[in-house]
Amino acid sequence: MPSIERTLDRIDEVLSTNRRIEWLYIVLTVILFLSGIACIVMALVTGKYLWSTPSVITTGLLRYPLKEIKDIRQKNIALATAPMLISQLPPEMAARQIQKLLEQLYGKK
């Protein structure tokens, strides 16, 4: 059975990794959004409305990163609040609850 301190350290590592992934998704989402805007502007400036087609595609592609950002934030909230809640439990029970939380968030491995 892993120790509580080791498990809490792993939770901190996961939060750090999630922050990096979240920022990557945010940057990619901004790039997709800006490329869609650039295509619309190009269509309006040149009068060739075929240029607006990529903006429709990029707008459709925004759904996935936004969903992932939302999921990552929900996991981060659960992971950030868990130590405070679990610290109220006896050590053995706390370790089991942390394991359950991680399995619920990320599945069994």
Write down the domain spans for the chain. Answer: 4-106
Average pLDDT of span 65-78: 84
Question: What distances in angstroms separate CA 60 from CA 1, 13, 49, one per listed residue?
Answer: 45, 32, 18
Average pLDDT of span 41-64: 83
Q: Locate 39 and state its tokens.
A: 């295509």
Q: Say whether pTM exceeds 0.95.
A: no
Looking at this protein, which amino acid is placed at residue 44? L
Average pLDDT of span 70-95: 79
Of 3-12, 50-59, 72-81, where does mean pLDDT reach its minimum?
3-12
Check residues 65 and 27 and name the one with the higher pLDDT: 27
